[in-house]
Chain A
Amino acid sequence: MARIELSKIAHSYHPNPAEPADYALKRIHTVWKDGGAYALLGPSGCGKTTLLNIISGLVTPSRGQVLYDDRDVTPLPPEKRNIAQVFQFPVLYDTMSVYNNLAFPLRNRKMSDARIKERVLEVADSLDLTPFLNKKAAGLAADAKQKISLGRGLVRSDVAAILFDEPLTVIDPQMKWELRRKLKEIHEQLKLTFIYVTHDQTEALTFADQVAVMFEGEIVQLGSPQDLFENPEHRFVGYFIGSPGMNFLKCTIEGASAHIDGAGCIELAPEIAEKGRKADGKLEIGIRPMYLKIHTRWTKGMLKAGVKGVEDLGSYRIVTLDVAGRTLKAMLSESEAVPEGTVGVSFPRQWIRLFEDGWLIK
């Protein structure tokens, strides 16, 4: 087990990187605490797998250091780092039995047969693999195979962290849920550091205590699922987390209000307005669809909006609104009436966030 620190990491796959665009990872500076359950969340191509491979040692970063418990491991290969990794699709030794698959990492480390047996049986038990131990690994279902990949990491009692690279991609939806629960259970049991890469927010938010959202080679926010939802530090986090994502409207600050060009004014909390007045970048207000209030009649302090469409998603509805040519999404519970025609939209003050050049003003 270990605390993993990434110090000023940058990585480029180009031999001679010149501009920022050549870098797959721009500047990563973060700490993963011992025993934490972390998720690395981001769209395809944002650099999350590269970052994972840097942590495991499969990739050596162009710049910066990787520290395990303050020990610099940057030049060390994966086999010297005590790390385990579960890949996107099950990686198994096809010709071996499940038992031999699980024993393989220990045999390579010259552990005694008796000790190997003890560890393998223990891990097989906690992963519910005991009935398959004598079977060929190649013939099993995808979820059992992924459990074996995980098991190969767990058998090593000295493992510093287990890294998951979108491990549920090839698993059936029903088994996904099952396997995710198993992962959480194992994490609680063993208190190992888990780092889980995914582009699926549900997976990240349900699995991890702390989620790092990545965007174009940077970690834009590391926080609890609640933080990411309520206080996205970057507009990308607001947009990427939540379904539908956060609404954004370009604005200027006039007095204590945000002025939306051609649509009207929204009153802000005084301290936010104060900071907004001092900012000189491009300003936007952001609000989650679930916090927007729709009123049948427009009164002062609301924005006038036209209802463009309503999607019924079972337990809630998503209303698409047109505000002077801009689109807003609002979420209504089943019990609320479905609005029609021209309506008023109010923005509860405590849920409005103000962004300058994409970054949250705190």
Chain B
Amino acid sequence: MEKWPDNKAWLLVLPVFVIVAFSAIIPLLTVINYSVQDIFGPGQSVFVGVDWFREMLQDYRLREALWRQFLFSGLVLIIEIPLGVLIALAMPKRGWKASAALVTLALPLLIPWNTIGTIWIIFTRPDIGLLGAVINNLLGIPFDHTASPLDAWITVMLMEVWHWTPLVALLAYSGLRAIPEAYYQAARIDGASAWSTFLYVQLPKMRGVLTIAFLLRFMDSFLIYAEPFVLTGGGPGNSTTFLSLYLVKIALLQFDLGPGAAFSLIYFIIVLLFSFIFYQALQRVGKGETV
């Protein structure tokens, strides 16, 4: 029987295409369009080619924000992944204690991001904040995130770790719970120490969830905006001005739509590139042939 080409199936894909077009493709094309024009006002624009890209790539403030961003994301990953795994290992395995631990852990994840910033502003205030007052008055160490860049970084890091480590812990916990009991039994019979059991049973079995945790935390921390915006506003000086904070300053506060669009695209490509590199690298871990 001869088969006639039937293109009706494309109609079924159409709704998805329309939704994706409105949610991603059209906005992205708009940004690309802006990035090659100098816009003076509604209907007044000039084509400028790649000038904005050139300008943005030479902008030292963007470069500083980029290094700051890498330092921030790097610290986030170095702290949150091991800490999350540790918490997951220490959590109760079953019963009401396990449920209680899960709910407690999930709490920071349920709080709106702006509120998180506000909580930490109050928490670290030297005069009335619980943490700030304790450090300043009881321990006698001057600590003020509005005055000292180091204190600002410490506060932002503490807030970030408090906010997102639970996500890593929950993912790691689910990975741990999925390991069949027989693996632990075999490890005991083989005389494996707790450390070997972790290294050769638990960690390899958690690879999948930890890859997800790693990528999520990298992307999220690289795009962080609301919490530092509320907490430090990028200061003191520019010390906590991360990429997204700087982008908003250019695109919305100064209303430089062209440079802002070029910046957005550079930002987008960096996130995409690094996520891809990390994914490939993590997929390869533990898959090569070794003796």
* Closest beta carbon of chain A to B279's beta carbon, Å: 19
| Contact in complex: B291, A134 (CB < 8 Å) | yes
A91 adjacent to B291 (CB under 8 Å): no
Report B-chain residues with C-beta under 8 Å of the C-beta of A89: 180, 182
Within 8 A of B (CB), among A55-74: 56, 58
By the criterion CB–CB under 8 Å, are A78 and B289 in contact?
Answer: no
The residue of chain A having its C-beta at the shortest distance from the C-beta of B199 within the complex is A95
- Quick check: B200 and A104 within 8 Å, CB to CB? yes
* Residues of A close to B186: CB separation below 8 A: 85, 87, 91, 149, 152
Residue B191 at the A interface, CB < 8 A? yes
Q: Determine the distance from Cα of A270 to Cα of B189 in the docked complex, in whole angstroms.
A: 55
Q: Is B22 an interface residue (CB 8 A)?
A: no
Residue pair A79, B182 in contact (C-beta under 8 Å): no
Interface residues on A, range: 20 to 34
- Docked-complex contact A134 and B204, CB < 8 angstroms: no
Please determine whether A96 and B200 come into contact, CB atoms closer than 8 angstroms. yes
Complex CA distance for A56 and B186, rounded to whole angstroms: 11
- Give how many B residues have a beta carbon under 8 Å from the other chain's beta carbons: 21
Q: Are A78 and B286 in contact (CB under 8 A)?
A: no
A135 contacts B286, C-beta separation under 8 Å: no
Contact call B200/A77, Cβ cutoff below 8 A: no
B204 touches A95 (CB 8 A): yes
Alpha-carbon gap, A135 to B185, bound state (A): 24
A58 touches B291 (CB 8 A): no
What DSSP secondary structure best describes chain A's contact surface?
A: mixed
Q: How distant is A327 from chain B, measured CB to nearest CB, in Å?
A: 41
- Cβ–Cβ < 8 Å partners of A93 in chain B: 200-201, 204
Contact of B188 among A77, A96, A97 (CB under 8 A): A77
Give residues of chain B (193-229) contacting chain A, Cβ–Cβ below 8 Å: 193, 196, 200-201, 204-205
A136 partner residues in chain B, CB cutoff 8 A: 287, 289-290
Partner of B182 from A88, A109, A134 at Cβ < 8 Å:
A88
A87 touches B289 (CB 8 A): no
C-alpha gap A136/B289 in the complex (Å): 6
Q: Which of B274-291 contact A (CB under 8 A)?
A: 286-287, 289-291
Known: A88-B182, A94-B204, A100-B291. A79 touches B189 (CB 8 A): yes
> With A and B bound together, what is the CA distance between A84 and B185 in angstroms?
10
| Residue from the list A87, A95, A152 in contact with B185, Cβ < 8 A | A87
What does the 1/0 interface line of A228-260 toward B look like (CB < 8 Å)? Answer: 000000000000000000000000000000000
B residues near A77, Cβ cutoff 8 Å: 188
User: Which single member of B182, B191, B205, B291 contacts A105 (CB below 8 Å)?
Assistant: B191
Instruction: Tell me the B residues contacting A by CB distance below 8 Å.
Output: 180, 182-183, 185-186, 188-193, 196, 200-201, 204-205, 286-287, 289-291
**Can you list 5 A-B contacts (CB < 8 A)?**
A79-B191, A105-B191, A108-B190, A108-B192, A134-B289
